[in-house]
A and B are shown apart, each in its own frame.
Chain A
Amino acid sequence: DAGVIQSPRHEVTEMGQEVTLRCKPISGHNSLFWYRQTMMRGLELLIYFNNNVPIDDSGMPEDRFSAKMPNASFSTLKIQPSEPRDSAVYFCASSQEGQPQHFGDGTRLSIL
């Protein structure tokens, strides 16, 4: 199995630009999670999908962040407009419901 695939691995852009992060979960997994990791705050859950439906987006920082899961094999996390404080590593993870999560290798985002 290819595992969870995230793209891009690195993204550097100027503040105010739109950023789109992409995730392909493991086939057959029905839960998908987006996390943000920083040194100060550790790994924080942003949003959780189950069967392509957003179940809990209480971790999304503000309206500048949005996430979609149009089908079982693809999800996006979008930041518009981006700000320097959004700089972090963003992880996508997938799982069978209630089972341990499988993480991608993340997107390292730098907003200048």
Chain B
Amino acid sequence: SQKIEQNSEALNIQEGKTATLTCNYTNYSPAYLQWYRQDPGRGPVFLLLIRENEKEKRKERLKVTFDTTLKQSLFHITASQPADSATYLCALPTSGTYKYIFGTGTRLKVLA
């Protein structure tokens, strides 16, 4: 069955450093992948979408890569700030539908 894995352990980094989060998937080849941010007590908020024919996508301090050979996406936040502290989820559409499977998320804490 289709499966997504994100590092369940929290990631703590110092302010100003680059945070890198990983999303690995198995057993299928999605046409695109999405990243969401979730703050405590709130619903996930869409950040970025990257398609299978795109190697990299940027939005301000965010960068996403998509390696379809490794079946992996990396999510980078450069010049991280305490306000970037949140849980970050990756999501992939299931084959042939608009249903999405979400990873369990990685909690990021940026220390001032």
Contacts and interface: CB of A to CB of B under 8 A. Distances in A.
A35 B34 CA distance: 17
Given A42-B105, A43-B89, A101 B100 contact: yes
B10 interface: no
Interface in B15-43: 34, 41-43
A72 B83 CA distance: 36
Interface residues of A, number: 24
B49 A100 contact: yes
Interface of B: 34, 41-46, 49, 89, 97-105
B99 A100 contact: no
A48 B94 CA distance: 13
A83 interface: no
Given A42-B104, A43-B89, A100-B34, A106 B43 contact: yes
A98 B105 contact: no
15 contacts: A4-B43, A33-B100, A35-B102, A41-B104, A43-B44, A43-B104, A45-B99, A45-B101, A50-B98, A56-B99, A100-B34, A100-B46, A100-B49, A105-B42, A105-B43
Given A33-B99, A42-B104, A101-B100, 13 more contacts: A43-B44, A48-B98, A48-B99, A50-B98, A56-B97, A91-B43, A95-B98, A97-B98, A98-B98, A100-B49, A103-B44, A105-B43, A106-B43
Interface in A60-112: 91, 93, 95, 97-98, 100-106
